[in-house]
Amino acid sequence: MGNMKCIKRSNSNPIIILVPYPAQGHVTPMFKLASAFLSQGFKPVMVTPDYIHHQIVRKVEPKDKILCMPIPDGLDKDTPRDFFAIEKAMENNMANPLERLIHQLDDKDGDEVVCVVVDLLASWAIDVANRCGVACAGFWPAMHATYRLITAIPDMLRTGLISADTGFPKQLSGICLPNQPVLSTEELPWLIGTPAARKARFRFWTRTLERSKTLQWILVHSFPNEYTISDEQHQQLGDQLFKSTTTQQPLVFPIGPLSKHTTTKNPSFWEEDTSCLNWLDKQNPNTVAYISFGSWVSPIGEAKVRSLALALEALGKPFLWVLGSSWLGGLPIGYLERVAKQGKVVSWAPQMDVLQHKAVGCYLTHCGWNSTMEAIQCQKPLLCYPVAGDQFVNCAYIVKVWRIGVRLSGFGQRDVEEGLRRMMEEDEMSKRMRKLNERTMGDEANLRAVSNLTAFTDQNKMFRLGYSNNGVYDYVF
What DSSP line would sit under 187-203, residue for residue?
Answer: -STT--SSHHHHHHHHH
Question: Residue 401, SS3?
Answer: helix
User: What is the tens place of the pLDDT at every residue in 41-61?
Assistant: 899 999 999 988 888 877 777
Cα-Cα end-to-end distance for the chain: 27
Tell me the torsion sign for CA atoms 470, 471, 474, 477.
Answer: positive
Mean pLDDT of 369-381: 94
User: Using CA atoms, how far apart are residues 33 and 460, in angstroms rounded to an integer?
Assistant: 16
What is the distance between the alpha carbons of residues 170 and 182, in angstroms, rounded to a whole number?
15
Give helix 195-212 / helix 83-93 axis angle, nearest 10°.
40
Single-letter amino acid, residue 117:
V
Q: What is the mean pLDDT of residues 267-278?
A: 88
Query: In the chain, pLDDT over 90 holds for what percent of residues?
Result: 51
pLDDT surpasses 60 at 353:
yes
Alpha helices for 40-177 (secondary structure H) = 50-56, 83-93, 95-106, 124-132, 144-151, 153-158
| pLDDT over 50 (residue 181) | yes
133-176 residue pLDDT tens = 999 999 999 999 899 899 999 988 998 888 888 888 887 667 77
Q: Judging by beta carbons within 10 Å of its beta carbon (0-12, 13-18, 19+), is residue 49 exposed, middle or buried? A: buried
What confidence tier does 319 reach under pLDDT thresholds 50, 70, 90? very high
User: For 259, how many CA atoms within 13 A lie in the half-sphere containing its CB?
Assistant: 18
Q: Which one-letter amino acid corresponds to residue 42?
A: F
Q: Which residues contact 318 (CB under 8 A, 6 or more apart)?
A: 283, 287, 288, 289, 342, 343, 359
Average pLDDT score, the chain: 84
Longest dimension (CA), the chain: 68
Q: How confident is the model at residue 408 (pLDDT cuts 50, 70, 90)?
A: very high
At 74-120, the pLDDT tens digits run: 888 888 888 889 999 999 999 999 999 999 998 766 789 999 999 99
**458-467 confidence digits (pLDDT tens):** 988 887 776 4
Q: At what angle do helices 124-132 and 195-212 cross, to 10 degrees?
A: 20
pLDDT at 345 over 50: yes
10 has a pLDDT exceeding 80: no
Query: In sequence order, what are the residues at sequence separation of 6 or more whose Cβ sits closer than 8 angstroms to the Cβ of residue 3?
Result: 133
Confidence of residue 423 (pLDDT cuts 50, 70, 90): confident
- Domains defined for the chain, CATH in brackets: 13-266+441-465 (3.40.50.2000), 275-425 (3.40.50.2000)
Q: How many CB atoms lie within 10 A of CB 144?
A: 22
In degrees and rounded to multiples of 5, residue 114 shows phi and psi of -100, -15
pLDDT average, residue stretch 317-345: 91
What are phi and psi for residue 424, nearest 5 degrees?
-80, -20
Nearest to 368 by CA among 348, 395, 342: 395
Over residues 214-245, the pLDDT tens digits come to 999 999 998 866 654 333 333 333 333 333 33
